[in-house]
A and B are shown apart, each in its own frame.
Chain A
Amino acid sequence: MDFINFYFLPGIVLGSIYALGAIGVSLVFGILRFANFSHGELMLIGAYITYSLLHFTGLHPLAVLPIAMIFTGVVALGIDHVFYRPFRTSKATIVIVASFGVALMARSAVQIIWGVDPVSYSPGQIQKPIVLFDSLRIFSKHIWIVSCAIVLMLTIHVILTYTKTGKAMRAMSDSTELARLTGIETEKIVRATWLLGAALAASAGVFLAWDTHLHTMMGFYMLLPMFAAAILGGIGQPYGAMVGGLVIGLAEELSSYPWIGGEPLLPPAYKGGVAFAVMVMMLIWRPSGLFRGRVF
């Protein structure tokens, strides 16, 4: 039972959060064709906006989440317009440098506005888990986080499969040039991509902050697991990113379970390295990812 309570369930929660972030990384990589190093900072912005909204309204994090998602989407549109759009036709590597710069600017902006001390959405409150079947202990916020993540992922699925814009996003991910020749307004699709990716990033940031606490390095630390999840699932494959996120989240938590003997398999302090290890193995074994994404 300890296995479920302390390793498996937290792994699922963390995995859902990574998945939400990784979908955006994968979408942006597929459609704009660059690894967005500022994606973690979109999470950060979403999480801090929520923090301020909670502070002013006193509402529940989930109640203000939609506002934070929209706000972050708009910020992403602004960033794209000012910093990425000028490079639409340049080599992708230049945009990566730009996104790296944007990441630092965004983080330092957050540090200037909100300071660097860690904060919490519900300071001082200690939540008691719900106990089921005598031994299964679940925190209600975990149920909320996972269900919201599932709803958001289903929404993404519906958008990509059934709406015209969603299909055009997948088309553009296949070939930007052919999309243009087909009459698809590629700039509109790019905006849709940022809105979706940033909204999901914001939700991931809020869930992570709600589950643990909020600090300004959060976005940077999330970058590696999100990329690992996106690569694991196959770049440009949003469904792959969902699976990849879950796998990475579970792998991180399960890596410190005492599989052999009484000692953790891997000291918990090294959890952060698991994502990297999984990613490295994937790059050796099958660089196109589980879902056969693109390899550049």
Chain B
Amino acid sequence: MPVLELNNVSGGYGEVDILHGVSLQIARGELVVVIGPNGAGKSTAMKAVFGLLRLSGGTINLDGEDITGMEPAQVVRKGVCYVPQTNNVFPTLSVEENLEMGAYIREDDFRPRLQEIYQIFPPLREKRKQKVGFLSGGQRQMVAMGKALMLEPRILLLDEPTAGLSPIYRNQIFDIVKEINDSGIPILMVEQNAKQSLAVADRGYVLVDGQNRTDGKGLDLLNDPEIAEMFLGG
């Protein structure tokens, strides 16, 4: 059974639908990448999982449980963690406070987990008393991901974690994503860097105009001439 499953999901923000029947599946332990042109509805599909959309059709299942249209606060409590594309940290809070907010719904002691997060993202330990607003883009992205991981999620949704980052940070983030996935957490990731992300992904989906275009194994997509022409610069 897939961990997370979108079946034929349609919906949008206002009156008009942006998604016209999107289907995605993420199995246990998988790293799944979604690519597509700007405005294809990739971010919108993620928001659909999180109850931030007006849905007009389709269902969303988490481990077989129907979570269609659930409130964001409840979806988090089900163990789905989401790092939005923009606006994904609290800039006036310190690094440590951001991570603490990530653990907001935990009732147990989160401090051991905090130490684990600092192991994954060593620069954050150094800057833990600093306001996130003053950090570099790459470090902010680390805070955003660290914050989402504070819960030891059942599945992690990442929306363009490397957008706007320098190549060094980009590689670093890709390594960490792989590392997190290897530790057993399934990941659904939207990416602009199609080549690099398909290379590490188990499977990939291509969304165009709010619809599934194709999907397949990461490497198969990478070698597909049509996809190559669309996204990989020929």
A-to-B contact residues, CB < 8 Å? 164, 167-168, 170-171, 173-175, 177-186
Complex CA distance for A171 and B82, rounded to whole angstroms? 17
Q: Contacts of A173 on B, CB cut-off 8 Å? A: 92
Query: What 5 A-B pairs have minimum CB-CB distances, sorted nearest first?
Result: A183-B76, A183-B105, A174-B90, A180-B72, A171-B90
Q: Which of B62-70, B96-104, B223-231 contacts A (4 or more CB under 8 A)?
A: B96-104
Q: Contacts of A183 on B, CB cut-off 8 Å? A: 72-73, 76-77, 104-105
CB distance from B159 to the nearest CB of A (A): 11
Complex CA distance for A210 and B106, rounded to whole angstroms? 45
Q: Chain B interface secondary structure, helix, strand, loop or mixed? A: loop
CB distance from B152 to the nearest CB of A (A): 14
> Contact between A167 and B97 (Cβ–Cβ < 8 Å)?
yes
B136 within 8 A of A: no
Q: Which of A164, A168, A181 has the most CB of B within 10 A?
A: A181
Q: A170-B90, A170-B93 are in contact. Are A181 and B77 (CB under 8 A)?
A: no
Complex CA distance for A183 and B147, rounded to whole angstroms? 12
Q: Contacts of A170 on B, CB cut-off 8 Å? A: 90, 92-93, 97
Q: Contacts of B76 on A, CB cut-off 8 Å? A: 181-183
Point out the residue from A177, A182, A185, A186 that lies within 8 Å of B101, measured CB to CB: A182
Residues facing A in B45-64 (CB within 8 A) are 50, 52
> Contact between A175 and B72 (Cβ–Cβ < 8 Å)?
no
Point out the residue from A164, A174, A180, A181 that lies within 8 Å of B93, measured CB to CB: A174
Q: A164-B104, A167-B101, A171-B101 are in contact. Are A180 and B73 (CB under 8 A)?
A: yes
> Contact between A182 and B93 (Cβ–Cβ < 8 Å)?
no
| Minimum CB distance partner of B77 in chain A | A183
Complex CA distance for A168 and B102, rounded to whole angstroms? 10
B91 within 8 A of A: yes
Q: Contacts of A180 on B, CB cut-off 8 Å? A: 72-73
| Minimum CB distance partner of A175 in chain B | B87
CB distance from B107 to the nearest CB of A (A): 11
B21 within 8 A of A: no
CB distance from B93 to the nearest CB of A (A): 6
Complex CA distance for A29 and B32, rounded to whole angstroms? 41
Point out the residue from A164, A178, A185, A186 that lies within 8 Å of B90, measured CB to CB: A178
Q: A167-B100, A180-B73, A181-B84 are in contact. Are A175 and B90 (CB under 8 A)?
A: yes
Point out the residue from B52, B92, B147 that lies within 8 Å of A182, measured CB to CB: B147
The 27 sampled A-B contact pairs (Cβ below 8 Å) are A167-B93, A167-B97, A167-B101, A170-B93, A171-B90, A171-B97, A173-B92, A174-B93, A175-B87, A177-B52, A178-B89, A178-B90, A180-B72, A181-B52, A181-B76, A181-B82, A181-B84, A182-B76, A182-B104, A182-B147, A183-B73, A183-B76, A183-B77, A183-B105, A184-B101, A185-B73, A186-B73
| Minimum CB distance partner of B106 in chain A | A183
Q: Which of B82, B90, B102 has the most CB of A within 10 A?
A: B90
Point out the residue from A164, A167, A174, A181 that lies within 8 Å of B72, measured CB to CB: A181
| Minimum CB distance partner of A177 in chain B | B87
Point out the residue from A168, A174, A177, A184 that lies within 8 Å of B91, measured CB to CB: A174
Seed contacts A170-B92, A180-B73; 16 additional CB < 8 Å A-B pairs: A164-B100, A167-B101, A170-B90, A171-B93, A174-B90, A175-B90, A178-B88, A181-B52, A181-B76, A182-B101, A182-B104, A182-B147, A183-B73, A183-B76, A185-B73, A186-B73
